[in-house]
Each structure stands twice: as C-alpha cells, then as structure tokens.
Amino acid sequence: MKKSTVLAGIVVSTVILSMILAACGSGGTPTTSGTQPTQTTGQQPTQPVTTATSEKPQYGGTLTITGGDPLSWDQYYTVAINTNALGPTGNVLIEPDWMKGPAGSKETTWTRGAMGRYSLLTGGLATSWDMPDGQTIVYHLRKGVRFQNRPPVNGRELTADDVVWNLQRYNTAPSNTTKPEQKPTSFKATDKYTVEIKVPTAVQGSLLYGLGGSMAAATNYFWPHEVIDQYGDMKDWKHVIGTGPFILSDYVNGSSITYIRNPDFWAKDPLHPENQVPYIDKLQTLIITDTSTMLSALRTGKIDIQGLGRAQGVGWEDAALLMKQTKLEYIKKVADLIWLWGRLDKDNLPFKDINVRRAMNMAIDRDLLVKTYYGGTATAYTAPWPPTPDYAPIYTPLEEQPPEVQELFTYNPDKAKKLLTDAGYPSGFKTNVVCGTTSVDFLSLIREMLLKVNIDMEIKPLEPGAMQGVMAGRTHEQMIYSLFLLSTPTNMNWVRSELQDDRAMYENPYTREVYNKVQSLIGKDEAQINQLMKDVSKFILAEVIGIMLPQTYNYTMWWPWLKGYHGEGFEDAGFATRYMWIDQSVKKSMSP
C-alpha cells in the first residue's frame, strides 16, 4: 500500500510554507477578540511576550529555498496567486503582525495568513486606516518608503498617487474577476500620504483588507508607473521594481530565481529594533520539480528549508526518515482537508438526501485509517477547523458539537444501512468519483468501507491537467475527491454556489445570510464575526455537505543554521524571510 499518496500538502513556490507550532495539532483554547470600532486604526507591532533571543543576528549569506516558475510577472494580466514570485520584491498596505506569532504573543502560528482575524494585522505601507462612513476607506501611508534603486525610478519615494494608480489599474485588470457591484467606485489621493477610496457599503470591510493586501496569500503589490509608461507592462522580470525587502536580480526559466538584499528597505526587526531587515544578502529559489531531487537537496544542505507534503509528493514516511537520518529541525501542521463531495444540485443523485450523506460518513472507519494507513499522523475529527491557535476563536471540540454531528464521526455501519433504507436505498446504490491518479490507493480503501453498506463507488482517476479542469469547472458527474481549503474561513467559499471551491454545489439561505452578515462586520466587530463563524460551522457539519475524511499533516524541515525562525510560514516569501538569518559558524560546522 502506498501511504504517501494521501498526505495533504500545500504548494511551495517562491514561498516558505507548511510551518506551525510544534504542538502538531494539539487543541487550542478558543479566545474572543475585542470588538473592533467602526473607525479602525492600524495596530502597531505588539511588544514580544518572550525575551528576545540572546543570539545576535548576523548579516550576510544566502538563503536557498525551492519553488516553481511563475506564470507571469505582471499582476494586471495574471491572477496574483500565479505571480507569487513577486512576493519578496513587494509590499502591501496592511500586513501580518510578526509579533502576534511565535516570535511574540503566540496568538497565531502565522501559517495561513490572517484568516479573517484582522486584529492580528499591523501597518505595512500604511501606518493606519479608517472607515469614516459606510462607503469610504482611508489609508494613511508610511512616510519615507522608497522604490528599489533601479532605473527608471532610481529610489524615489512611494506616494499616495502611486497607490491610487496601482489600485485603479488592478480594478480594471483582465485578471480581476470581481463582480462590478463588489468593486470600488473611485480612488483619490487627498494629499501626498493619504488615499481615499469609495466602495459599496456591503463589501466595505472586505475591501478594506482586500485592497490592503491581507485577504490573500499571494496578493497585489505596488509598482512604479514609470515602468509601465516605458515598457507597456511588467511581463519581463528585468522590469520588476517594488518596495520590498529583496530586489529581483536574475531569473532562469526552469532553473532558479535570485533576489538580492534591498539596502533601502524601510522595516526594522521588532525583536532587535536597532536592526534593519532583511539580514540575508541573497534569496535564491531553485526550480525543482522532481521529488527525489528535492529531498536529496534538502538532505545534503543544498536548500536550507523545505515544506513537505502532498504537493511535493512527500508522505509522512519520507519525513520520518529525514527526521531519523539527519539533524534537520522540523515542525508539522495540519494540512488542508481533502473530502469526498457528492453533487447536491442534482435531484436524481442519492446525495440529495441528507440520510445518504449521513450514512456514507458513518460507514467510514476514520480511527482505523488514522492508526493504520496514516501511521498515527492524522486526526479523525475535522471541525472543520483544526485545533490550533490560528483557528481558536471559531473552533468547537467534538464533545461540544451537537449530537447529530458527533454521530457522524462514529463508525457505525449498521446505522448507516438503516439510514440508507430510510432514504429509499435498502440495497444500496452505485456511484462514481473522479480523483487524481495519486489518490487511487487511498480511495480503494474508502471504496471497501462503503461496499460494506452496499454502496459501490467506482473510482475514475484523471491525469493532473484533466483533474484540474474538472475541479475548476465543477464538471464531475457525481462525486469528486478534492481539497477543502482552510485559508480564510470568513470567505465561506465552500458553501457559496457561485464559487468553484463549493464542490458539492451547496447553497442554503442560512449560510448565505451568515456570509452577508459577516461581510458587513469585517473591520467593525471581530467578536461577533467569530461567534457567527462558530455557529455556522456547527450548522454546516450538521448539513453534511461532504464525506469528511481524516485530516493529515504537512511538515517543514530546516537546518539549524537557519535562525530568526520560529515556525512561521507565509505564502509571501518576502515576509518571513526578511527576519531570517544564517549562522555562518553553525553552517560551516554542520554542512553535510
């Protein structure tokens, strides 16, 4: 049996991913955030709870990671997530507060961005922001931020006119698929450092943080208009000029992306406030697509840090072997969920009946899968939020869930058969599921369990390209084995029928009402948002919108010479890496 095919993971492009606290899925205690006023001021970095390390950060050296080729360098033409190699070169208006994570108060692990917890954010290019009325957003910019010192810009200061120019460009970009009624209506620089934006009231809060940059992993950054004026676009990597910690210095397709330290970067290290960041002289991304080559590069110290998971073709067995055979430090984190989804928009399919969905869940022996298939490296209960500090405000333990939800996670094939009979399927039924080719082994086990309650599930594996197309178009005939993304719960993408993340094509008036209410509260009342999300999560689980399967773990491993790192991870590689430094003496003594 090939176990490594089902360990969930997330992509590491030019990014440092898969990083969490060493608690590896231990329960977090739910907390309640304070109410946010209508006029929201950007919070400054918090003071560290822990004592700053006695080690003095060293400047210099090269940090080497792995990634893939970007699809483009111009976010006007290509959606931001496919231009994530820009991350080290850019900045956003509102960014995660480094000192709210493991380096400081430990309110989050900083593994998936803000996830709707906007009290964890602080100023980036903006020092503060507010919403003076229901249709206005105002950003107050940081003074003295300069574009990287390259022609045709030559290090000039970023101003409100630059922010307005970029936001107007993005607002009409081909890559922007936002509905017209959800877009800003006007942008204006009221002075050199103040930007005023008029927006629809219904999406004011989400636009505050969406335009600010904290709503997405690979987000829109701010570039000088002179580049577009001179070259027409920024599709050529040689024309990339941002305000970020690293300057893009070289790109060889299929080989590497190289960045050098920006000596004029505006940020300081909050643990060592006298120090300008970044510390490293060079950030290098090696384009490695072969799993064995990547593992060899990590094992031999050719790369300093690496996320390991499904996206890299790495299972828990591979991670365990590295732990045993090397001196690599490591952490593990809960991965995005992968569930079975049956279409709920087709009346002729059995999944339309909630008793069928309940029966299929109760036919799955999750504890057996965790103990045998995953070797104990998974958790049977999916909340749908994992028990980590990141999700603590909206997490509900299984014992606090309604009885009908608790029952779903109990292996009970006899009850499953009764539910099928009640639904009009006393002899069971036949169905089919599309999946990626690497998932066949795991789904064969699920098929065997379903057969015990007379459900015959045919497995239809698809090559990666075809599977991606089916996922994007939601063209699966009956069922699909697919991701349940955990990134930003308040977006509720998996219960909004217009979005491709809603694999079941589920729609409900109550979940839509909660979504609309949550959007109206963003930036105004985080405590109420958290309560709404806790309540709707219980409802969604009770609705049984999918066949809930065990949640696995990803791993991140790094060599001990990498310092200034506490388990954080950001899709924006320029954020976490700005604080990292290389202990040259340790590296010299340990190099494999």
DSSP string covering 453-474, please?
A: TTEEEEEEEE-HHHHHHHHHHT
**Residue 82, pLDDT score:** 79
Alpha-carbon separation of residue 31 from 395, 458, 495 (angstroms): 10, 44, 25
Helix (H, G, I), strand (E, B) or coil at 179: coil
93, 64 contact by CB (below 8 A): no
Distance CA 237, CA 234 (A): 7
Q: Give residue 372's Cα distance to chain centre.
A: 29
Number of Cα atoms under 13 Å in the Cβ half of residue 202: 8
**Residue 571, pLDDT score:** 46
H/E segment holding residue 331: strand 329-334
Q: 């050199």: which residue's tokens?
A: 192
Distance CA 350, CA 356 (A): 7
What's at 559, amino acid-wise? Answer: W
Q: What is the dihedral of CA 156, 159, 164, 169, to 10 degrees?
A: 10
458, 389 contact by CB (below 8 A): no
State the sign of the Cα–Cα–Cα–Cα dihedral 98, 387, 493, 530.
negative
All structural domains of the chain: 3-289+559-590 (3.40.190.10), 337-552 (3.10.105.10)
DSSP 33: P
Distance CA 107, CA 564 (A): 18
**Residue 387, pLDDT score:** 82
What's at 517, amino acid-wise? Answer: K
Residue 42 CB contacts under 8 Å (≥ 6 apart), including other chains:
94, 121, 122, 123, 126, 127, 128, 129, 140
The closest of 459, 479, 529, 575 to 115, measured between CA atoms, is 529
Angle CA(164)–CA(578)–CA(47) in degrees, nearest 5? 90
Q: 256-261 and 246-252 as β-strands: parallel, antiparallel, unpaired?
A: antiparallel
269, 275 contact by CB (below 8 A): yes
Burial (CB < 10 A; 0-12, 13-18, 19+), residue 270, is: buried
Q: What is the dihedral of CA 506, 507, 508, 513, to 10 degrees?
A: 130
H/E segment holding residue 269: strand 268-269
Burial (CB < 10 A; 0-12, 13-18, 19+), residue 103, is: buried
Q: Tokens for 570?
A: 């950001």
Q: 């120090």: which residue's tokens?
A: 275
Distance CA 472, CA 495 (A): 16
Peptide bond before residue 393 is cis, with ω within 30 degrees of 0:
no
Residue 475: other Cβ atoms inside 10 A: 10
The C-alpha R_g of the chain, in whole angstroms, comes to 24
Q: What is the dihedral of CA 122, 128, 132, 136, to 10 degrees?
A: -80
pLDDT along the chain (592 residues), means of 10: 31 29 28 30 33 76 92 87 87 91 88 78 94 96 98 97 95 86 95 97 89 66 96 96 97 96 96 96 94 93 87 77 91 86 96 98 97 89 84 93 96 98 97 94 97 98 91 94 84 90 95 94 92 96 96 89 83 75 94 70
**Residue 21, pLDDT score:** 26
Q: 246-252 and 186-191 as β-strands: parallel, antiparallel, unpaired?
A: unpaired
What pTM value is reported for the model? 0.81
Q: Tokens for 541?
A: 């689980």
